Structure 1
Amino acid sequence: MNMLFYNAIGKLAGISREEAAVFLSAFQTRKFKKNSILLREGEVAHELYFIMEGAVRQYFSKDDGVEKTCSFSFEAEFVTDIESFSRKSRSVTNIVTIEPVSCLVINCTDLMEMLNHSAVVAELCRSIIEKVATDNIKRIQSMLALSPERQFRELVQSNPGLLQRVPQRYIAQYLGLAPESLSRIRKRMIITEKSLT
């Protein structure tokens, strides 16, 4: 049993080890190099990924061609374009690895087959979609209610290794800042932390 997978899905829904093993059996293990494209804008998302090792970012391109990062995903997280995956519509986002990635992958057809035969898997999928929706709502609330500095502080607190793993330009995109502005925020935070020690 893959304990990372079991613990992650156990947090989302009550599931026995046997049920988890059945669900896990529908996944395939894959490895991707850094900068591999898992999904392109305009394609239909046919696969759901569970990250065992590595990191990915999800982004869209604005009309002027500028990229806007909308999320980062790390170990023990599921990633896909949920709307595209569930509705078989064209994706409006790209998903790209920012580190070498080892993951478990299930395609939409196999997942739907399991949904039709297992109430536990159906509940688990509902929980995954709810978590993605809740994370998106929190992200919007953060953007609307918090200063960029506070957003950055909370982002780093919830992802302690973020600064070592994600290029600063992607973090700046995520926060809606110019890279120089993010550098100033980081310097202020370092000065503040030093003054408190």
Structure 2
Amino acid sequence: MAEEWISTVAQRLTPIGTFSPEQVRMVAHRVHRRFVDKDTILLAAGTICQTIYCSLEGAFYQVSNNGEEPVIIDLHLPGQWFFNHQSFVTQTPSAYTIQAYSDGIVLELTIQVIHELIALSPVFLQLGSLLNQGTDRIRFFDQNLTPVQKYQYVLDYQPQLLHRFPLKMIAAYLKMTPETLSRVRERLARGLS
């Protein structure tokens, strides 16, 4: 197995927990690297989420197409793990679609591999911390932040979103109209909050 691949997997596992070099090799041997083209659907609405992805390259998004206008649920950048939390945890059909916004590469960690790794060693129970990441966005929007505070959060913690996605998608992700986002950006540019 190529040392470069093992190093890539080790980098993605570091925020999750502490794994020995041998444990990293065990994971690297079981996960898959997948090249995806722009607009590739990783998870279609109505199917059960069986895989947790990590973007190695490219940008991805989750969207709900239940209404006339698609609703952006989440945006994902390189280095981030992502999946449909509700579907993965309950093993019920997903209400959302996960799609590639650009060409990219993902690391795929299936539920079967997670179970296999946990059966080999309890140290892999640390992979469960990935499930907490699925609730981060819910907590973010439960804080009832103002539009300015939401955009400031993006500027402070996820500025790469502004380089990877169009403002219309960012506005939808922040649950505001593009016009509101424009006014917020203008206010912040003038030094007003």
TM-score of the aligned structures, taking structure 2 as reference length:
0.88
Give aligned-pair identity as a percent. 22
What is the CA–CA distance in structure 1 between the aligned matches of 2:7 and 2:68, rounded to whole Å? 41
Matched, 1:136 2:140: no
Matched, 1:84 2:103: no
- When the two structures are aligned, how many residues end up with a matched partner? 188
* Structure 1 unaligned spans of 5+: none
What is the CA–CA distance in structure 1 between the aligned matches of 2:50 and 2:73, rounded to whole Å? 20
Query: Does the 8 Å CA contact 1:47/1:106 hold for their aligned counterparts?
Result: yes
- The AA in structure 2 aligned to 1:44 is I
The aligned counterpart of 1:5 is: 9
Query: Does the 8 Å CA contact 1:4/1:76 hold for their aligned counterparts?
Result: no
- RMSD between superposed Cα atoms in Å: 1.8
**What are the equivalent positions in structure 2 for 1:42-121 lying under 5 Å apart?**
42-62=46-66, 64-121=67-124
- The AA in structure 1 aligned to 2:137 is N
The 1:138/1:86 distance shift into structure 2, 3 A limit, reads closer
What is the CA–CA distance in structure 2 between the aligned matches of 1:163 and 1:141, rounded to whole Å? 23
Q: Which moved more, 1:8-17 or 1:25-34?
A: 8-17
The aligned counterpart of 2:153 is: 154
Query: Does the 8 Å CA contact 2:150/2:174 hold for their aligned counterparts?
Result: yes
The 1:117/1:86 distance shift into structure 2, 3 A limit, reads farther
Q: Which moved more, 1:107-116 or 1:156-165?
A: 107-116
What is the CA–CA distance in structure 2 between the aligned matches of 1:136 and 1:179, rounded to whole Å? 20
TM-score of the aligned structures, taking structure 1 as reference length:
0.86
Shift, 1:137, TM fit: 4.3
What is the CA–CA distance in structure 1 between the aligned matches of 2:127 and 2:119, rounded to whole Å? 12
What is the CA–CA distance in structure 2 between the aligned matches of 1:127 and 1:57, rounded to whole Å? 21
What is the CA–CA distance in structure 2 between the aligned matches of 1:49 and 1:72, rounded to whole Å? 13
Shift, 1:148, TM fit: 0.7
* Structure 2 unaligned spans of 5+: none
